[in-house]
Amino acid sequence: MAEETLEKRRGFLVGSIAAMMGTISAALGLPALGYLLVPGREKKKSDWIEAADLSKLMVNQPEQIIFNRVRRDGWKLVTEKAAAWVVKTGEQQVVAFSPVCTHLGCAVSWNSGDKTFACPCHTSSFSPDGKVIAGPAPRPLDRFDVRVDGIKVMLGDVKKSAEG
C-alpha cells in the first residue's frame, strides 16, 4: 500500500514537471516560430518609376533600361539599380521583362541575331514575348507592371509569371 501511494506520488511529480516544462517551451517556442517565419507586417508596393521614353522605343526591339528604385529591405530603405527589358509591342503598348532568368536567376540578355532572350548560365532562351523556347527555365520571364502615360513608360512591381 505505502509502496503504491509512493509510486502514485512519483507519477504526479514527474507528470507535473513535464507539463510545466512543456508549457514554458510552448510559450517561448510558438512566438519564436511566428517571429522567424511570418514576414514583416508592411508590404510596400513600389512607386511607379519613369523608366523610358515611348517615342524612342522601336516596335519589337527590346531595349535594356537601367533605373534606380527605392526598395524597403527589412529595416532599411535602399536605393538600388534595377534593370528591365522593355519591348514596345504596339503604338501605346509596352511590356517590360525582368532580366532575371526563371531558372536560377542569372541575367538574360537580348540576342538580336536569333531574336531571343538568352541566358548565359544553362542556355535557357525565351521568345520576345517571354515564353520559354529552350533550356531548363520552368516558366516565362517575369513582367513588370507597366503604365504608359503619354510618352512616359512607367514601371511598377515585378509580377511572377505563371508556371508553364
DSSP string over 109-157: EEETTTTEEE-TTT--EE-TTS-EEESS--SPPPEEEEEEETTEEEEEE
- Measured distance CA(54)–CA(26) in Å, rounded: 58
x-or-dash pattern for ligand FES, window 9-28, by CB under 6 A? --------------------
Shortest CB 83 distance to ligand FES, Å: 15
Q: Does 101 bind ligand FES (CB under 6 A)?
A: yes
Answer with the entry of other proteins, ligand FES, none that 122 interacts with (C-beta below 5 to 8 A by kind): ligand FES
Q: Is 10 in the site for other proteins (CB under 8 A)?
A: yes
Q: Is residue 156 within the footprint of ligand FES (CB under 6 A)?
A: no
Backbone angles phi, psi at 128, to 5 degrees: -60, -20
Listed residue (49, 46, 68, 66) closest to 149, CA to CA: 49
Query: Are the C-beta atoms of 33 and 132 separated by less than 8 Å?
Result: no
CB of 84 to other proteins, least distance (A): 23
- Binding-site ranges for other proteins (CB under 8 A): 10, 13-14, 16-17, 20-21, 23-24, 27-28, 31-32, 34-36, 38, 40-42, 44, 72, 74-76
